[in-house]
Amino acid sequence: MGEFELLARDGLARIGRFSTPHGPIETPALLPVVHPDLARQPVHPKELRSRFGLGAVITSSYIIWRTPPLREIAEEKGVHGLIDFDGPVMTDSGAFQQHAYGHVEVTHEQILHFQGRIGTDIATVLDIFVEPDAPREDAARGVAETTARATKARADRAGLLAVPVQGGLDPELRRESAAAASMTGDVLAVGGVVPLMERYRFADLARVLIAARPGLAPEGVVHLFGTGHPMTFAFASLFGVDLFDSSAYLKFARRGTLMFPEGSISIDSIQERVCRCMLCAEVPLTEVAGLPGSERERRIAEHNLLVCSEEMGRVRQAIRDGTLWELAERRSTGHPALAAGLRAAIRGTRIFLPTEPESRRTLRSTVATTGLRPSVIRFLARLDGFKQGRGPYRTLPFVPLTTVALRTLPAQTRDGATLDWEVLRPVGAVPIELADVYPAGCYLAPDEFDARPRAGGFGEALEGLAVDRERDWSPEWTRRQVDALIAWRYGPAAATALRAANLLGRRSPKTGRLRRVERDGVILFHVGTDGLVRPTWRGAQLLHATLPSPASRVVVDADAVPFVREGRSLFSRFVIGGDLTLVPGASALLVDKDDTLLAVGRLLLAPGEMGRLKRGVAVRVIGHERGEEAEEPDEDVAADPGAL
């Protein structure tokens, strides 16, 4: 089986390293389609890497097979020799040609062996291309045949294998096909979607990806066949697509169409300098339009490649920054069909929840559906449980509260004595103790920037609101907030137990925000800018004594115990169990199989992924018997209107 190492993530999207015989592929990656006849390939594969930063390619083993001169060279020099490229090469199998022409004159065994003979890095099973709107029986037959072929292929091939996932629009078949592919494939290649892409049926594409997700093994590398338009990269990445392939840069170039992340434009309509990429700076598009056929086509193809590569870079950066939803939302404004796709994604919230990170820097409102992102849905679901444990919250009288009203009004009405009010945030009604917690506390919405309301605006409706979060730092309020934050993260029983422990909250003298929780001068928890409590080693000891196993635990294999005790990261393959409700970014107690506490760390993987990914870190250790990482800098960065 292939090896995939996850290095950074935003939800399902993964910055990772997929090892192949010709070097690693850094995901998410765009594999440009290369014509195996270099005379018909306007950009040389080596230039794809050197000029466009695209280090892995895909080509068609079927075209090579059915073209005797190409086949001879490939059989003699290998596919890398044929296309003069020494990086990772994936080959496709001819299923798409079968679909387009109705037949291919090769069997699935023949084309698999052929891919092996020409030394491909990733061979693809010859699948049955199932049309999106195929009748169910046909779709079921296509899936069954694809699965049977994949099983045979796995037995025959030692190297990396891409197994297509088919099933049309039938969710049950898609899930089944994904689960079957996960048993045999290193690359799980979602197929049969080109007709969806061509007709901008992004809502259906979302449904396909949502249906397949529960069947896709976390250790598998997910490929999406035929997604070559940069406007779709952020959208598909959101669903955990690791590999994209594109022949679109070429096909569009033949038609004189320029790609942009916001959509496509015909070069003949360009009259202004709309692009100043390094290519268009050399020869402006208005001049490219008038060049002779092949030169014009090559230049457009290069522009398209550059735009694709750059957008993939933005997606990767967004994954590292935790802003991929934002990027996908911004792209969704480029075309109503993409907006429909994003709405379909939001209806599939459940597939995102297991890997939805505990927090991010900010939650910036960009489109109407921002408030329905998985992070908000999870927050609201947890809120129901939280409120049940904590005695009645009076509901605010109806008032059109905005963030601005929230910020300005408590100061006018802080004479009341009760604390049990809710505060309306753009994400909904939130108990005031949780007003700093992600995503409520880090929510940045347009009303933050609206003009301030005139004095006396909503004051009456809010009379009795007791806490001015910016000024009331009374011990009573601080105790209540500490208690609430522990209940929020560890449940009401833990909060009750720790109430007797004499915890003392400390605020930032500058901002008044709760920054840490101490006992007898020892720091037990830091409170992050996301408003969440995170235990130090000493806090972990207290939690360990308070929370019954397996709560908040990750169980470490005996072989790794000495390393984890010393503060070394816990590798995925040494995880043998744990609390399945933990999510990436959460703090966890690392214990041995007898529940002896070894260290406290932060999750990179979701529990369902641990042990299954054979390479890489599952939990980064941040505190142990003999050492502790420094706390976050003491500054208020919850609202960050200046950053891009």
Interface positions with ligand GUN (CB under 6 A): 92-93, 95-96, 124, 127, 129, 164, 191-192, 194, 225-226
Q: Of 22-30, 271-279, 352-360, 625-633, which segment contacts Zn ion by CB under 5 A? A: 271-279
Closest distance to Zn ion from the beta carbon of 46 (Å): 21
Locate 622 and state its tokens.
């941040």
- Show the site string, 218-257: x = touches Zn ion by CB under 5 A, - = not: ----------------------------------------
**Shortest distance in whole angstroms from residue 129 CB to ligand GUN:** 5
Residue-by-residue DSSP string for 316-341: HHHHHHT-HHHHHHHHHTT-HHHHHH
Q: Which does 275 bind (CB under 5 to 8 A by kind): ligand GUN, Zn ion, none?
A: Zn ion
CB of 42 to ligand GUN, least distance (A): 20
Residues 6+ apart with CB under 8 A from 584: 9, 355, 356, 357, 358, 603, 604, 605, 606
Q: Is 277 in the site for Zn ion (CB under 5 A)?
A: yes
The answer to whether the beta carbons of residues 11 and 374 sit under 8 Å apart is yes
Report the nearest approach of ligand GUN to the CB of residue 190 (Å): 8
Three-class DSSP category at 416: coil
| Phi, psi (degrees; rounded to nearest 5) at 146 | -60, -45
**Judged by CB, which is closer to ligand GUN: 16, or 192?**
192
Bridge partners of residue 424, in order along the sequence = 429
- Triad 147, 248, 352: Cα angle to 5°: 55
CB of 98 to ligand GUN, least distance (A): 9
Q: Which residue among 111, 280, 308, 351 contacts Zn ion (CB under 5 A)?
A: 280
Helix/strand/coil (H/E/C) assignment for every residue in 378-412: HHHHHHHHHHHCCCCCECCCCCCCCHHHHHHCHHH
Residue whose token pair is 């004095």: 455
**Residue 641 Cα to chain centre, angstroms:** 23
User: Which of 90/445 has CB closer to ligand GUN?
Assistant: 90
Q: Among residues 56 and 250, whose Cβ is nearest to Zn ion?
A: 250
Partner from ligand GUN, Zn ion, none contacting 164, C-beta within 5 to 8 A by type: ligand GUN
Decide which of Zn ion, ligand GUN, none touches 280; Cβ closer than 5 to 8 Å per partner kind. Zn ion
Q: In the complex, what is the shortest distance from the CB of residue 273 to Zn ion, in angstroms, rounded to a whole number? A: 10
Phi-psi region of 605 (alpha: psi -120 to 50; beta: other; left: phi over 0): beta
User: Smallest gap, in angstroms, from Cβ of residue 319 to Zn ion?
Assistant: 25
Pairing, β 575-578 against β 553-556: antiparallel
Q: How far is the CB of 43 from Zn ion (least distance, A)?
A: 14
Residue with tokens 């502790």: 628
**Which two tokens mark 530?**
């996301």
From the list 63, 45, 64, the residue with the least C-alpha distance to 55 is 45
Instruction: Please confirm, yes or no, whether 384 is among the known catalytic residues.
Output: no
Q: Which does 127 bind (CB under 5 to 8 A by kind): Zn ion, ligand GUN, none?
A: ligand GUN
Helix axes 492-499, 537-546, angle to 10 degrees: 110
Which does residue 303 touch among ligand GUN, Zn ion, none (CB within 5 to 8 A, set by kind)? Answer: Zn ion
Pick one of Zn ion, ligand GUN, none as the site partner of residue 225 (Cβ within 5 to 8 A by kind): ligand GUN
Strand 363-364 with 443-444, pairing: parallel
Q: Which two tokens stand for residue 609?
A: 């992924």
- Cβ proximity to ligand GUN: between 187 and 305 the closer is 187
Alpha-carbon gap, residue 224 to 236, rounded angstroms: 8
Our CB check for ligand GUN shows the closer of 129 and 239 to be: 129
Burial bucket for residue 165 (CB in 10 Å: 0-12, 13-18, 19+): buried
Contact in structure between 325 and 317 (CB atoms under 8 Å)? no
Q: How far is the CB of 206 from ligand GUN (least distance, A)?
A: 17
Start-to-end C-alpha separation, the chain = 40
User: Binders of Zn ion among 293-312, rule CB under 5 A?
Assistant: 303
In angstroms, the CA 328 to CA 231 distance is: 9
Among ligand GUN, Zn ion, none, what does residue 93 contact (CB within 5–8 Å per kind)? ligand GUN
Q: Which is nearer to Zn ion, 295 or 460 (CB)?
A: 295
Identify what 616 binds: ligand GUN, Zn ion, none; CB under 5 to 8 Å per kind. none
Residue from 8, 265, 275, 399 in contact with Zn ion (CB under 5 A): 275
Candidates 37, 84, 86, 92; catalytic one = 92
Which region among 159-167, 235-243, 279-287, 610-618 touches Zn ion (by CB under 5 A)? 279-287
- The Cα 211–Cα 213 span in angstroms is 6
**Cα–Cα distance for residue pair 249/312, rounded to 1 Å:** 14
Bridge partner residues of 89 (DSSP): 57
Q: Which is nearer to ligand GUN, 94 or 431 (CB)?
A: 94
Residues 6+ apart with CB under 8 A from 404: 447, 448, 450, 452, 453
192 binds, among ligand GUN, Zn ion, none (CB under 5 to 8 A by kind): ligand GUN
- Residue 188 and residue 4: Cα distance in Å, rounded? 12
Query: Which residue, 95 or 517, is less far from ligand GUN as judged by CB?
Result: 95
Stretch that binds Zn ion, among 276-284, 327-335, 387-395, 517-525 (CB under 5 A): 276-284
Residue 92 CB, shortest distance to ligand GUN, in Å, is 5
By a kind-dependent CB cut-off of 5 to 8 A, residue 191 interacts, out of ligand GUN, Zn ion, none, with ligand GUN
| CB closer to Zn ion, 8 vs 275 | 275
- Closer by beta carbon to ligand GUN, 224 or else 619: 224
> Smallest Cα–Cα separation from 56: which of 26, 14, 94, 81?
26
Tell me whether residue 119 is exposed, middle or buried, using C-beta atoms within 10 angstroms of its C-beta: 0 to 12, 13 to 18, 19 or more.
buried
- Residues with catalytic roles: 92
Residues that bind Zn ion (CB under 5 A): 275, 277, 280, 303
